[in-house]
Amino acid sequence: MANEANKMFTNPVVYAVPGMEAVEVRRNLVYHTLDDGTELTMDVYVPPGEARPGVFFIHGGPIPPDKPWRLVKDWGLFTSYGRLMAACGMVGVTFNHRFPGFDRFEESAASIAAAFAFVRGQAASFHLDPDRLAGWALSGGGPFLGPLLTEKAPWIRCLVSYYAVLDLRPLSEQIPGGLPGEIVERFSPVSCLPLEGYDGPPILIARAGLDWPWINTGTDGFITRALAANAALDVLNHPRGQHGFDVLDDDARSREIIARTVDFLKGHL
C-alpha cells in the first residue's frame, strides 16, 4: 500500500494531451490565512485566451497536522490534472486546504469557499470566466461537494466525483462514538440531494470497482438517489479500477474515463 500511495504523490495521471508541458503555472499563491497565521496556497494553471472556464480540484484526507499536507497540490496527481485542464482550454486550480480530522469539516469547507472566492475575485488575471466553474472532488474530498450541492451557486456549472466519499454514514459507523449527526447531514452529498425534482448542476461520478466497500456503498447510494431525483447524472465505472485508478491503473478504461470527463466538463462549462 505504501508503494501505491507513493505513486499518487509522484506519478501523473495516465491520460495526457499535447501541450501539457507548455502550460503557464502561477505557483504558491496565498489564497487564505487561517486564524493561527497558517497560509493556504494554490497553483493556477492558465491557458491562453480570455474568459476560460475553470476547474477546482478538491483533495481529500484527513491528513494529520504532522504530515506534509501543504504539499498536496504538488503531488503528481494534481500537477498533471492542472496541466491537463489548461491544455484542454480550461483554467486548472489546485490548492491545499487543512483537513486534519473528521471533526474539522467546517474549517476545511471555509477554506475551500475562500479558494473559490480568491480565484473569482482575480478572474481577469487568470483568463477565467468566474461564472463557469466546476468542482472536482477526489477521495476524501467528496464530502465537500455537499455544500456545493446545497448552496446552488449559479457559477458552479457542474460537479465531478472520482472515487470519492459521498456518504459519511458508512464511515461514521466505523468511528468510535460516530460523527455528529449535523456533520453527517451537511457533508454527505447523498443527504444534500432532494428526494425528487433535482435542479442542481450536472454531476459525473467515476467509480472504482475495487475501491473500499464502504466508499462504494456510499457511491451506489448516491447514484440511486440522484436517479430517483431525476438528476443530470453520468456514471463511469472502472470494474477493475483501484482507489486512485487514474494514476494507479494505466489501462484503456482509465484513459477512457478521464477523456470522457474532459468532454463532460467542456460540454457543461
pLDDT at residue number 3: 52
Identify the three-state secondary structure at position 42: strand
pLDDT at residue number 2: 43
> 203-208 and 233-238: which strand pairing?
parallel
* pTM attached to this predicted model: 0.94
User: DSSP state, 14?
Assistant: S
Residue 147 host element (H or E): helix 145-151
Cα(166)–Cα(179) distance, integer angstroms: 15
pLDDT at residue number 173: 85
pLDDT at residue number 1: 43
Cα(245)–Cα(240) distance, integer angstroms: 9
Mean pLDDT by 10 residues, the chain (269 residues): 60 96 97 90 95 95 65 92 98 90 84 97 97 97 96 97 95 82 92 95 98 96 98 98 97 98 98
User: DSSP state, 11?
Assistant: P
Residues near 48 by beta carbon (within 8 Å), at least 6 away in sequence: 24, 127
pLDDT at residue number 98: 81
Residue ranges per domain, the chain?
2-268
pLDDT at residue number 130: 98
For 59, 91, 175, the CA distances from 109, given in Å and listed in that order, are: 12, 21, 21
Identify the three-state secondary structure at position 203: strand
CATH number, domain 2-268: 3.40.50.1820
CB burial of 103-118 (b: ≥16 within 10 Å; e: otherwise) equals eebebbbebbbbbbeb
Closest to 98 in 3D by CA, of 144, 50, 146: 144
